[in-house]
Amino acid sequence: MPEVSHTEETEKGEYREGFSIQEISDDLFSRMKVGNTYKADCIVPREDLRYLLVLHKDKDGNTHQGEMVVHKLIAEDVPEIFEKLYDADYPIERMVLPDNYMADDEVMMRDNNSSCFNFRFISHTNRISKHGLGMAVDINTLYNPYHKIVTNDDGTKEEVIEPATGKDYLDREQNFDYKIEKGDLCYNLFIEKGFEWGGNWTDRKDFQHFELPTDVTEKYSQMYAGE
């Protein structure tokens, strides 16, 4: 796997129109608290988050202004990825903050929204999820769903699909718009920056999902939890 290239501090760089990295302003911070991505129990410091503006194109070639909140650790890498996707006309349908959906993942994924930061702990732990850290990015979520077979306590098996409306897109042999494939431009750009793709997992599939490796994220989760 490529060596992680992220820097500890984000330096302000020069970007073309439509692309920028900003600290979290007071207005944006209020929006994130009202919209529930920065929840009352959030222990990730505001100062460690960055607000990105990037351009993206939909499948019809229309240009949109996208926005995303990420951890400062990836705040230089992510705009670079999206700039290359934009120049290559790689289609991304929608990119607004999860606050527009009151941080409801299912609703947001059904709307095919691409996003990053949404604070939450991993269930039954004090460890922060990778989205909760702002170190995981989901792209074209409806067409690249999460899928897992869960074995219940009684031995029965249950199929989990998120979003539920993404079931038709689990057949990855099909050709359809907004599909992420191993070896495509989106995949290659994220992998080059040291991210892992959920589509490569064997115990489950998360085709929309790119995350930093656990040995990177765990350090921050433990630090923020005071461990």
Query: What is the DSSP code string of 122-191?
Result: PTTSSPBPHHHHT-EEE-STTTS-EEEEEE-TTS-EEEEEESGGGGGG--TTS--TT---TTSHHHHHHH
Asked if the peptide bond before residue 163 counts as cis, ω within 30 degrees of 0, the response is yes
The answer to whether position 38 is within a domain reads: yes
Domain presence at residue 1? no
pTM: 0.92
Q: How far is CA 51 from CA 75, 147, 152, 193, 220, in A?
A: 8, 30, 40, 19, 19
Is the residue at 5 inside a domain? Answer: no
Is residue 15 assigned to a domain?
Answer: no
CA pair distance 177, 59, nearest whole angstrom: 7
d(CA 112, CA 208): 10
Is residue 60 included in any domain, yes or no? Answer: yes
Q: What is the pLDDT of residue 5?
A: 39
Domain membership of residue 120 (yes or no) is yes
- Host domain of residue 197: 20-225
Specify if 151 maps to a domain. Answer: yes
Within a domain: 142: yes
Query: In the prediction, which pLDDT does 202 show?
Result: 97
pLDDT tens per residue across span 10-43: 344 567 999 999 999 999 999 999 999 999 999 9
Which residues of the chain carry a pLDDT beneath 70? 1-14
The number of distinct structural domains making up the chain is: 1
CB 79 within 8 A of CB 135: no
